[in-house]
Structure 1
Amino acid sequence: METRIALVGIIVENLDKVEEVNHILHDFGKFIIGRMGLPIRDQEMNIISIVVEADNNTINSLSGKLGMLEGISAKTVYSKAGVSDCNALT
């Protein structure tokens, strides 16, 4: 199955949900290439960016599960080419 690279942007406005966010990310850990978190303490929120390599269904599942949590927003940006297509270009 073809995989894609995607960036999942997560805004955590309900800090009580941080443990649930981390649990979901742990469940999808084998697909995560990199993660960066930025605490915005004066506004009591966290911004997390996740780079993943997976098939579309897996990426959509990750983003959907995160977005269903109260006080959590998640949006995904996909690479235009699949990983197999990227390798063919080099």
Structure 2
Amino acid sequence: MSDKRIGVIGIVVEDREMAPRVNQILSEHAAMIIGRMGLPYREKDISVISLIVDGSTDELGALTGKLGNLPQVTVKSALTQYS
């Protein structure tokens, strides 16, 4: 298993119909989510979610990979070397 990392994940949901699937994936990985902030950007008709996470690189890769495979969902992450 990989070393644990603390990081930030940014998620942009361009299609609100994807929101239930995004929330389901986040719930499946809730154990590594330290904090979450989600904001609707009504003027652009998108939603922006930021996560603070603590998990192994494998766990974080699984989360970002599942989210990134959803249509109209963009995901970016930044991980520390801190374990």
Which TM bucket (shorter chain)?
A: over 0.9
Residue 82 of structure 1 and its aligned partner are, at CA, apart by 2.9
- State the partner residue of 1:58: 59
TM-score by length of 1: 0.87
Aligned-pair distance for 1:74?
Answer: 0.5
**What residue number does 2:39 align with?**
38
User: Partner residue of 1:25?
Assistant: 26
Letter in 2 for 1:65: K
- Unpaired runs of 5+ residues, structure 2, are none
For the residue of structure 2 that corresponds to 1:22, the secondary structure is helix
Residue 55 (structure 1) shift: 0.3
The size of the alignment, in residue pairs, is: 82
Structure-2 separation of matches of 1:9 and 1:58 = 16
SS of the aligned residue for 2:43 comes to helix
CA distance in 1, matches of 2:25, 2:16: 15
Query: Match for 1:60: what amino acid?
Result: G
Tell me whether 1:82 sits opposite 2:82 in the alignment. Answer: yes
CA radius of gyration, larger in: 1
Deviation at 1:34?
A: 0.3
TM-score normalised by the chain length of structure 2: 0.94
Q: State the Cα deviation string for residues 31-60 of structure 1 (Å, max 9, x = none).
A: 000001111011110000011100000001
* Aligned twin of 1:67: 68
- Provide structure 1 residue ranges, at least 5 long, that are not aligned to the other structure: 84-90
Give the superposed CA RMSD: 0.9
